[in-house]
Structure 1
Amino acid sequence: MRKISIGFISPYDAMVPMIEELKQGQTDLEISPEVGNLEKGVSIAKEMEKQGTDIIISRGGTAKLIRDAVLLPVIDVHMSGYDLMRSIMLANDHSEEKKALVGFSNITIGAASIVSLLEIDMEVVTLTDASEVETILTQLKEAGYTRILGDVVTVNAAARHGLNGLLIQSGREAILQSFEEARRLFKTLKKNQQLLRVLGQLVTEREQDFMIAAESGIVLFENWLSFERLPIASEELESLKKQVLEEGSSVLRVINDAEFPFSVQVNSWQDRNELLFSFFFKRISASTLELYGGKAEEINQLPQIVTESKAMKNIKQLIEEPLLAAEPVILVGKAGTGKQTIARYIHAYHEKKGYFVSLSIEELKKSFGELHSLNTSTLFLIVNKVSAALNVYEIKELLTIMAAQKVQVILSTEEMPSELAEALELHEAIRIILPDLNDRQEDIEFLVRQFLTEFHQSLGTQPIKVRDDAMEELKQIEWNGHLNELKAYIKKLALAEKDYVIEKSALQKTPVTSHVPRKEKGFIISEKDTLKTIERKIIELILQEEGYNQTKAAKRLGINRATLWRKLKS
């Protein structure tokens, strides 16, 4: 007997690894997982129908749309009580945030019971229509809520509002149940496959935003991914159709006067007795641009930084000062201490509208042509190792041009030589020294929770908690690779663990293997250091030991706070 062919269309990426794992034991099923949310899922389902798939499995709104678009049986992966409980408990670990769960009644009724029974501080908001999502999220943001639980549509909308979204994912139990339902359906239901004639032409085109319309103007099919609806007026559509017929070939037109510039390519073909037109749309602008030796990004969401430790609390307080929105900043810290995250936080917190550009200082000249033409708000320059070939004077001139364009310069370095700061005229820049992870013991627990949440969302990993004794052991490890090393280790644990809790035994089975050599604390005096440089190193070391509290540091150094500030600025 042949295997049952199942197309599993997941509305989010993290479900796929779990499907791949669970399908191994289903000897009578041939399961093909794909990722596609809403209309994209519909397009994938239609292609699967053409290829002879027997049954489609999907979830939520995507499953509903697919059911209306194809003749195949469609199974909806139900959201179980386990799924709700797991997501609510995962969100509850972020104790300092105001949290809300937003969804339709099929989710919120059960969620409200769980929240009430476990006495969890979480708002539960019920939707009656999908159009309410944007309004409700705006109200929640104004009320101080920062973490939103919900389905794919809600989480994507939350990201647009600058909120932290947490997707309620389907667990192993719900997926296995959908496999059993597929077996039952296959025995009782067989529907004839039928294709729309227009799809025969459509599948030869690349997947993107498009519309198929008849000469009469009737829309036969449309698929919007980057656009919410048709981005041009009906008059312009008629003009494009007329141009295609006059020229007898494909027409490409660029629309520059829209909010987001885009191109539209129009083709025509004869389908029996009717003339049909295809319109393919593509946005021209991108949120991320590759530069020579760097990258330009549009950052619309505030990066998460953990600030339980005294040092990080002080740093967060400093970077949120209005002064930090424009002044040049030098971030000093070892590799892996989170310098780029801090720079991105400064950019997002102060609501800069232009690009965040990151590149090596050695590549500034080569990238300057592209950089100069962009709407850049923040220039994040990475100073790895200053070579003799570096033309400091030239870089200073380029930075002067960027400053004139109101671009904030943030330098990232493990150690900033005072001579280089002087040469670049950045000696008065605000210096922020990022502490080693080993000096942030209070942050480790919250960092681990943050990483587990991230891997659960992006990779579909199972564990959502670390047992207390295991967490204590994590705090005792010397993290020479700092945040990068901790994150890589938690990822390894999360991928290996198939249960919801990481036990201490898991740490013993998976030892930390650091490739970063240990370094002694303190500072090194070079034979080239001047008295002023040595004094600076001593001040920075005392500041670090006092959690960047300038009053305490000044007291230890036997000077007043004003003198300390003057020495830091010099």
Structure 2
Amino acid sequence: MKVKGLFVAPYIAMEHLVQECQKDDTELDLTIKTGNLQEGIKFAKEAEEKGYDVIISRGGTARMIEKAVNIPVVDVNISGYDMLRVLTLAKDFPGKKAIVGFSNITQGAKAITDLLEITFDMFTINDKNEIEPLVKRLKSEGFQLIMGDVITINAVSTIGMNGILIQSGKEAIYEAFQKAKSIHQLVIKHKDELKLLSSILGVAAKDIIVLSEHGDIVYENWKGFSERPVTVEQLTNIIKAMDKTNIIQCNDCLIKIATSKIKMKTTSYIVCKVSKMKESTSKLQSLNIKVLHSTQMLVTESETMRTCLAMIQRHLSHNHFILIGENGTGKELVAQYIHYKKFQSRKLYASIRINDFMNMNIDELDSDVKTIYIHSTDCLQEGVMESLSPMIQSLKDKEVTVILALTRENPLLGELIYDDSIVRINLPTLSERKEDIRELVTLFMTHYHQTLGTSAVKIKNEGLSLLMHYNWPGNVEELKMFIKDIVLMEKGYIIDEQLIETQLHRKELKQTQQMSTLLSGTLEEIEKRIIELVLEEEHFNQTKVAKRLNINRSTLWRKLKK
């Protein structure tokens, strides 16, 4: 089968020569057009649309066509014979002579002139726009003859100078024909290899999509989905983030996209393997699954927090952590920090309430979930300890890191918190890490400035002093909410002492009023309010409420019915 090619000749004389050479070649089905630069690009684009195999042209036209189309382009070289013919014609021409052109012309010319010990001035250009001012300057400097390609000779003729066009001879055209056929054979070979790889992928790799580094879809194969389950926008975001694992909501299920980058010599490709998360995992609403692209900064100006962080760093190889700290001390933030340090964004992080965890089927947990943070352990119902321990061990056997959060040590948990293999991290209250308050305030103000568009960017030192001397029973979370309140109130850039003092006073007054309300009325009314408050604190776990009040459940039930 003949190679279908287009020859774009930049000058008329070349077209006639190509027609003669074509008669000697039976393997090329060649269409010949005459056109330089932009006109040549037009012909080349038309040929590409019509399914041509290869394009042949010369010099600047060939280089411009190569950038404009996606099929092979062969540049007709200027041979030593071509250059020798021109130099022979110009040798006896009177006056100053120069050769002007792109490097493909001037380099070959220099090799010949050096060999023959002929003196000619050489001027190499990098862009067509350099030619016109250059030849005008050469004319003003007394040059009488310019040798070059089509664009150079056209510029020379417009200012009335003599010019000789460096033409390609038969030798260079025959060489270009051969190169075009060789390149075509190589392209066919590569296409066959790609077809083979596509066939292999179609059989071996299901639900895969390959993207160029610019986001163009190079290949896709879907077996487990009726159509592409991700949008172009989602794919673009994946390329920008270049995270190893991504979770995307797709209709009624969650899908995972695991990405990897393949680097070639001139470009890169992103391979995305798509899979549905296990149905039990994606439908368990109480299991909050995340890909942690980063983790919020931990403030460690205080010695107590530096000790916690050092403890974590030394034990990252472990897979069972206990975080002990009051409400609001940032236990989940620390859990996310542990996960990110161990897995970055390659694996999934999940959090779940302990009572929901007890209803999970561990065997159906998605294999990419590598950290489970179990919280609300104060709500743990009695009689489940025998089941909890083997469930946690089952996770550890699957190389899942288990992080258990406690507000206080609970002896009922026994070996779950006192085993030697467990890393215990005691998180300080905010009153035990007051050196961190200044940095925490800055962190929270920055967060609300970026997310809520608040104006305030600084708190005066007197105001910071008030914050550092406050007790903060709700710890870091209480401080964060307080900062949110005052930055929303402040319309200027700086928060002064008065606003902070006023808001802290209101906070203390409200707490006093709540306590006063709690202790007002008859003994029976006070008792009922206390029971209701403890019920709320214990998440309505009547067994725990009875224990805290040192009464049995029947007594508690009777008092609630009054």
TM-score over 0.5 (shorter chain): no
- TM-score w.r.t. the length of structure 1 is 0.41
Larger C-alpha radius of gyration, 1 or 2? Answer: 2
Work out which structure has the larger RCO, using CA pairs closer than 8 Å and 6 or more positions apart in sequence: 1
Structure ranking higher in helix proportion: 2
